[in-house]
């Protein structure tokens, strides 16, 4: 299994908080974005590659490929940060045997299907059901925390 140092749900994927705070506190040196649409979006791939800090490897791949990749052994010194836009991404990884102990919930923006349920987090009923399964069926500790050092809020207390 790859050495996963952070798994985070955040619609923005790579942005200031991830680069300046999360990568530093985890010493992450490899960002993996599992997503079924992004591998074919050349513009977004270029934007994300430009946002990744120097010295940090970025890999964007379909979710099923990412699951197989994550089940391989890490080379020495590799510290993987998994960034995904949706809870469903992480549920699919878990279904395929990827071990995730902690899942940090970052920002999920509002849309017509989503309603606010924790500070900067909006989720649809389907997404909340998915979060419940991640917590209850897979035993993942899921919490909201915008930046390291900020008090964690247990997601289960808001579902």
Concatenated DSSP letters of 35-101? -SSGGG-HHHHHHHHHHSPTT-EEEEE-HHHHHHHHTSPPPTT--EEEEESSHHHHHHHHHTT---S
d(C-alpha 65, C-alpha 54), whole Å: 25
Supply the range of the domain harboring residue 29. 4-157
Domain count, the chain: 1
pLDDT band at 19 (very low <50, low <70, confident <90, very high): confident
In this prediction, residues 123-128 reach a mean pLDDT of 95
d(C-alpha 40, C-alpha 27), whole Å: 29
pLDDT band at 15 (very low <50, low <70, confident <90, very high): confident
**Which letter does DSSP use for residue 17 in this model?**
H
Q: Could you tell me the CATH number of the domain that includes residue 44?
A: 3.40.35.10
d(C-alpha 1, C-alpha 21), whole Å: 25
User: Which residues, in sequence order, are CB contacts of 54 under 8 Å at separation 6+?
Assistant: none
pLDDT band at 93 (very low <50, low <70, confident <90, very high): very high
In this prediction, residues 46-56 reach a mean pLDDT of 93
């Amino acid at each position: 299994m790859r050495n996963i140092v952070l798994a985070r749900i955040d619609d923005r994927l790579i942005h200031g908080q991830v680069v300046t705070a999360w990568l530093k506190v985890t010493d992450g040196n490899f960002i993996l974005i599992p997503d079924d649409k992004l591998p074919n979006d050349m513009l977004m791939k270029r934007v994300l590659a430009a946002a990744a800090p120097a010295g940090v490897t970025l890999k964007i791949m379909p979710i099923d490929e990412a699951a197989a990749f994550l089940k391989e052994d890490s080379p020495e010194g590799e510290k993987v940060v998994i960034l995904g836009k949706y809870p469903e991404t992480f549920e699919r990884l878990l279904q395929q045997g990827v071990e995730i102990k902690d899942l940090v919930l970052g920002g999920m923006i509002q849309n017509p299907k989503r309603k606010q349920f924790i500070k900067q987090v909006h989720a649809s009923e389907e997404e909340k059901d998915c979060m419940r399964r991640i917590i209850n069926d897979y035993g993942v500790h899921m919490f909201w925390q915008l930046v390291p050092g900020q008090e964690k809020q247990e997601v289960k207390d808001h579902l």
